[in-house]
């Protein structure tokens, strides 16, 4: 059975991967049937021959979960469609300070609304 999976390259703690078609019984760094592209998870740079990958899937090759995700989030030109998360994680102190500010602002708005109604 053929698999579409990642072949690890690069230095220690600095991985880069090649996206390859390979026999499922072959070791991870074994000789591939075909190389489809490359992926760097640190910089989020990817180049994939999407049409060839889809042809291999039609022929019966099984993509791994990671490769399936990369193929699903791939632009038609083969680059990764990566969207950076917009949420910022705050420390507990910063969260408490933000909640206190929001609570104070809500109380001030409520007080202003009461004064407007009283007039």
Query: Tens of pLDDT along 62-83?
Result: 999 999 999 998 888 888 887 7
CA 93 to chain centre: 29
Structure-token pair, residue 40:
């760097």
pLDDT at site 89: 82
* DSSP E strand boundaries for the chain: 2-11, 14-23, 34-40, 45-48, 62-63
Closest CA to 2 of 60, 51, 68: 60
Q: Which long-range contacts (CB under 8 A, 24 or more apart) does 42-46 make?
A: 42/14, 42/15, 44/80, 44/82, 45/79, 45/80, 46/70, 46/74, 46/78, 46/79, 46/80
Q: What average pLDDT does range 91-115 have in this prediction?
A: 89
Over 80: is that where the pLDDT of 119 sits? no
Over 80: is that where the pLDDT of 59 sits? yes
Write down the mean pLDDT value for the chain. Answer: 89
pTM: 0.67
CATH 2.60.120.260 correct for 2-72: no
pLDDT at site 117: 77
């Amino acid at each position: 059975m053929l698999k579409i999976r990642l072949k690890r390259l690069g230095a220690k703690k600095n991985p880069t991967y090649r996206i390859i078609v390979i026999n499922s019984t072959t070791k991870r760094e074994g000789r591939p049937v075909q190389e489809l592209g490359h992926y760097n998870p640190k910089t989020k740079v990817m180049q994939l021959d999407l049409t060839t990958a889809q042809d291999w899937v039609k022929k019966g090759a099984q993509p791994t979960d990671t490769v399936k995700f990369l193929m699903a989030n791939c632009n038609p030109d083969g680059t990764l469609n990566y969207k950076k998360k917009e949420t910022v994680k705050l420390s507990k102190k910063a969260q408490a300070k933000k909640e206190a500010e929001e609570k104070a602002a809500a109380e001030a708005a409520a007080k202003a609304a009461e004064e407007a109604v009283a007039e």
